[in-house]
Amino acid sequence: MTTSKFKIWVHAARPKTLAAAFTPVLVGAAIAWSDDHFIVLNSIVALVCAFLIQIGTNFANDYFDFVKGADTEDRIGFTRATAAGLIAPKTMLRATVFSMGLAFVFGLYLVWFGGWQILLIGVLSLLFGVLYTGGPYPLGYNGLGDIFVFIFFGIVAVMGTYFVNALEWSEASFWASLPVGALCTNILVINNLRDVEQDAKAGKRTLGVLFGDTALKWEYTIMLLLAFAIPPYFNIQLGYTIWIYLPFISAPLAFIHAKKVWSETYKPNLNKVLEQTAQYMALFGLLFSIGIILG
């Protein structure tokens, strides 16, 4: 494989959005650490599975959006490899199957350790990763993408990571999953805000197409507020110390990003905001995890 071909595949994997895979595992592992249940190998395998599922989902989106005609010449988002003719559709489909299959293979270790509950979580994660843009009723085409992201990249990923360490469910891991799900959802919000016009033409009924730009801007703001509402809950209700407020250090960045979302009128500029939103998710997750461990 040539260097240029390698770069094409790296770009297709969308590394700038992989915070969506890294952050929930980090936070779930931090809760496990604070409860003296942390297992290094299990957390590493969970992270590998999360990355592979995220990449497989990105490949599936690349393939199915091309097949459904959603990626057109009018696209203002990042270049899609299949639509641009850089990767053949059948090759992208095979890459999707390979990534998801590899995630399943690695996940078998976690199933061996955690039992049927992890098997169910893993299978559903793989299934919905494909059904996000594939299948007869793709979630992302019918206004359900935000719910899917919040549940699977937030609640399921954080609580699942905790479970494969502790072999039990945790109230703290549930509450910790909410800011993760909210900030991950905001990555999708920016994607949908940028592509409202193109999605409408392609028949892709995202929340932006259904309710308009303003609704997405409010969604972005509410998700940020939800994220910042959780550390006080940890302090007041769960007994964590003031270290849990570490994410508030990042509040000025959150305000700057929200201001851009509300004020930006030139949609191509939202590509940068999308990257910054993903980076912010990772930053918040890191600060939150440190606060959990110290708290």
Q: What pLDDT is recorded for position 65?
A: 86
**What are 63-76's pLDDT values in tens digits?**
988 888 766 666 67
Q: What pLDDT is recorded for position 74?
A: 62
SS (H, E, C) 112-132: HHHCHHHHHHHHHHHHHHHHC
Does 1 have pLDDT greater than 60? no
**What are 22-61's pLDDT values in tens digits?**
999 999 999 999 999 999 999 999 999 999 999 999 999 9
Question: What is the chain's alpha carbon radius of gyration, rounded to the nearest angstrom?
Answer: 19
**What are 79-127's pLDDT values in tens digits?**
788 888 889 999 999 999 999 999 999 999 999 999 999 999 999 999 9
pLDDT mean across residues, the chain: 92
Q: What pLDDT is recorded for position 219?
A: 97
Q: What pLDDT is recorded for position 188?
A: 94
Q: What pLDDT is recorded for position 79?
A: 75
pTM check: above 0.95: no
Q: What pLDDT is recorded for position 72?
A: 64
The two tokens of residue 198 are 């193109």
The domain defined by 19-294 carries CATH number 1.10.600? yes
CA–CA distances in Å: residue 22 to residues 50, 153, 238:
7, 10, 25
**What are 187-214's pLDDT values in tens digits?**
999 999 999 988 888 888 999 999 999 9
Each domain of the chain, given as residue ranges in start order, spans 19-294
Q: How confident is the model at residue 3 (pLDDT cuts 50, 70, 90)?
A: low
